Amino acid sequence: MSYLVKMIPLKKTSENYLKSKTSNVNLSSKQHMYTSFDDIPDKIIRLLKSHQSEFISGEYIGRSLGLSRAAVWKNIKKLQSLGYKIRSKQKFGYRLIAKTNLMLPWEISDGLQTETIGRKIYYFNTIDSTQNFALKISSKPHENGTIIISERQTHGRGRQNKKWVSPSGGIWLSVILKPNFEISQASLFPMLASLALCVAIEKVLNLKPKLKWPNDLTLDDKKVAGILVDASIESNQIDYLIIGVGINFKIQPSKITKIVKSSENFYGVTTLVGKKEESRPVLLLQTFLYEFEQLYDKLVANKLHGIKNEWEKRSSTIGKNVSISSPNGEIKGRVLGIDDDGALLVSSKGRTQRLQVGDISYQI
């Protein structure tokens, strides 16, 4: 967990200045941003989806949405450039043939079963870090539950100030939460997020990832996802939390390994889905958001019992002999379990030590 926060004011420029209902965002020429409140592409896609077996005319779309035919055409072009296969036929109009694989906001919203988390979405094709963007907007009102997602990141951040390599094919996501809690409870959020992600992967992909303390997800003992939490506090209360979730959904592990193999405590990287496999990142994302909200609601209602057991059940860490690099130096011992706050309990030199942060390596 890292405690923050320096706020960086947003600059306005006349070029690349994207007007949206709640924020002014400065974009580079290669960057595109879409939001769940940019409603034109969303509405056109909805119309096309509800008439998938037939063509609908530009005039009909225009009339339904209060747009000129030229504006309809422009938006159809935009949707095609985003990977939707839309056939256009003179005198007949447009027909949706296939959806995009991109995690566009209206695709995430379509079928999302949450009340709060993910109801407002910022989407980028590329960004430095979704976590950094979240930091810029999180002090604004109405951002509780907002998510920021990007197809790739140029400066992704990992735990303990490590670089997080984030090529296209991964799911790089930040969730803003403003819980009315004391700071001592912030350590529960990485535990909730990692458990929710594990459950979502089990349900959607039928895989059984393991949890490696504090909050790595592994497959075949290699890292497949990680969680980073940035917290802003004000007189012992949580002001906001930003839960960063990095999922190696459909990546080439060798490309990431090449870049990070010499970093401390590196133990290998893997991918959830192979290069040639069919994949539905949006479904995994929606399921994760739902599972996370369920756990979050339980935390708010103080009904968290059972969560620790669910986490421990999936853990590869319990019972292992480990070496831990912690702020207090290196500790060697045997892991007994985690406590209700998600801290690691280690038997070392005849006594039980409680650790809240650190990186562990398993000893053979």
| Binder of ligand BTN out of 172, 240, 249, 288 (CB under 6 A) | 172
**Contact criterion met (CB below 8 Å) for 172 and 153:** yes
Closest CA relative to residue 315, chosen from 190, 198, 159, 160: 198
Name the minimum Å distance from CB 76 to ligand BTN.
31
What is the C-alpha separation between 251 and 172, in angstroms, rounded?
A: 12
What is the C-alpha separation between 229 and 159, in angstroms, rounded?
A: 8
Q: Does 106 bind ligand BTN (CB under 6 A)?
A: no
Q: Does 272 bind ligand BTN (CB under 6 A)?
A: no
Site map (CB under 6 A) of ligand BTN, residues 192-231, x = contact = ------------------------x---------xxx---
What is the C-alpha separation between 114 and 168, in angstroms, rounded?
A: 26
Q: Does 146 bind ligand BTN (CB under 6 A)?
A: no
Nearer to ligand BTN, 124 or 296 (CB): 124
Phi-psi region of 236 (alpha: psi -120 to 50; beta: other; left: phi over 0): left
| Binder of ligand BTN out of 99, 120, 157, 308 (CB under 6 A) | 157
How many residues form the binding site for ligand BTN (CB under 6 A)? Answer: 21
Q: Does 153 bind ligand BTN (CB under 6 A)?
A: yes
Name the minimum Å distance from CB 121 to ligand BTN.
14
Q: Does 174 bind ligand BTN (CB under 6 A)?
A: yes
Query: In degrees rounded to 5, what are phi and psi of residue 38?
Result: -90, 85
Q: Does 246 bind ligand BTN (CB under 6 A)?
A: yes
Name the minimum Å distance from CB 113 to ligand BTN.
22
Pairing between β-strand 237-247 and β-strand 121-127 as defined by DSSP bridges: unpaired
Q: Does 118 bind ligand BTN (CB under 6 A)?
A: no
Q: Structure tokens of 174?
A: 């930040």
Burial of 185 (0-12, 13-18, 19+ CB in 10 A): middle
Q: Does 105 bind ligand BTN (CB under 6 A)?
A: no
The maximal CA–CA distance of the chain, rounded, in angstroms, is: 82
Chain residues binding ligand BTN by CB under 6 A are: 129-131, 153, 156-159, 162, 164, 166, 172-174, 216, 226-228, 244-246
